[in-house]
């Protein structure tokens, strides 16, 4: 087969490592959040608890067992995604650059329903949100480690200002991820073709098509 010139070379909208790790991450997040809410209920930080049917594990021991088991799936999957994202150039190419000005411009466009969606190209709001949720994930992991093993990770615990504050940090990072998911899913609902592409990989577009869609 004749090699194609680079200007017409085709590429999928979402590569298979991004798709697989995205959907495994969703499953792992559901497990982590539901078991985490169960653990929270045993010793609430605020004057509310989560409904029992939104928790996973049945009782505190079960909640903790689920949380620590799913944690390994989440960690392995995140490591795979991060390594692939860095070494394939995906993060550099698709998440950057963005600026305060471009985020503001695209936020206004999104809120007035004037934001064009170019398949295979993230807008500035998406770039900010995806980079932000990765940082929130890091904060969740670090605060989680300092709560899980306060002796072994005493340095981390100290950085967070102690065990009790690390619990608040963990809770607010979880809340930030939940807020991300709500906005993220709303954006997907507004542009449903992105959902199909995140499952199938989407049609292979050449550079010109992906810029015009």
Interface positions, 146-175, toward ligand HEM (CB under 6 A): none
Q: Toward ligand HEM, which CB reaches closer, 35 or 194? A: 194
Q: How far is the CB of 157 from ligand HEM (least distance, A)?
A: 25
Q: Toward ligand HEM, which CB reaches closer, 123 or 157? A: 123
State the CB neighbour count (10 A cutoff) for residue 56.
19
- 213 is a contact residue toward ligand HEM (CB under 6 A): no
Distance CA 20, CA 37 (A): 26
- 20 is a contact residue toward ligand HEM (CB under 6 A): no
Site string for ligand HEM, 63-92 (x = CB under 6 A): ------------------------------
Q: Which of 41, 103, 198, 210 binds ligand HEM (CB under 6 A)?
A: 198
- 195 is a contact residue toward ligand HEM (CB under 6 A): yes
Cβ(198)–Cβ(12) below 8 Å: no
Q: Which of 94, 102, 109, 168 binds ligand HEM (CB under 6 A)?
A: 94
- 25 is a contact residue toward ligand HEM (CB under 6 A): yes
Distance CA 22, CA 137 (A): 14
Contacts of 174 (CB under 8 A, 6+ apart): 33, 36, 140
Among the listed ranges 57-65, 138-146, 152-160, 190-198, the one in contact with ligand HEM (CB under 6 A) is 190-198
CA 89: distance to chain centroid? 18
State the CB neighbour count (10 A cutoff) for residue 26.
11
SS3 140: helix
Cβ(124)–Cβ(99) below 8 Å: yes
Q: How far is the CB of 119 from ligand HEM (least distance, A)?
A: 7
- 131 is a contact residue toward ligand HEM (CB under 6 A): no
CA end-to-end distance (rounded Å), the chain? 28
């Amino acid at each position: 087969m004749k090699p194609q010139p680079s200007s017409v070379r085709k590429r999928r909208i979402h590569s298979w490592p991004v798709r697989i790790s995205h959907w495994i991450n969703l499953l792992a997040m559901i497990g982590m959040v539901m078991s985490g809410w169960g653990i929270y209920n045993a010793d609430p930080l605020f004057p509310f608890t989560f409904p029992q049917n939104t928790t996973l594990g049945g009782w505190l021991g079960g909640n903790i067992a689920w949380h620590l088991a799913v944690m390994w799936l989440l960690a392995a999957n995140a490591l795979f995604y991060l390594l692939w994202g860095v070494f394939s150039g995906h993060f550099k190419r698709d998440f950057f650059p963005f600026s305060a000005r471009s985020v503001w411009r695209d936020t206004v466009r999104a809120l007035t329903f004037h934001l064009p969606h170019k398949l295979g190209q993230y807008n500035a709001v998406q770039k900010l949100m995806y980079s932000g949720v990765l940082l929130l994930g890091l904060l969740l992991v670090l605060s989680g480690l300092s709560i899980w093993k306060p002796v072994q990770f005493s340095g981390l615990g100290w950085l967070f200002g102690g065990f009790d504050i690390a619990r608040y940090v963990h809770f607010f990072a979880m809340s930030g991820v939940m807020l991300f998911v709500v906005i993220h899913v709303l954006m997907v609902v507004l542009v449903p073709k992105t959902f199909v592409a995140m499952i199938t990989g989407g049609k292979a577009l050449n550079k010109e098509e992906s810029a015009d869609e």
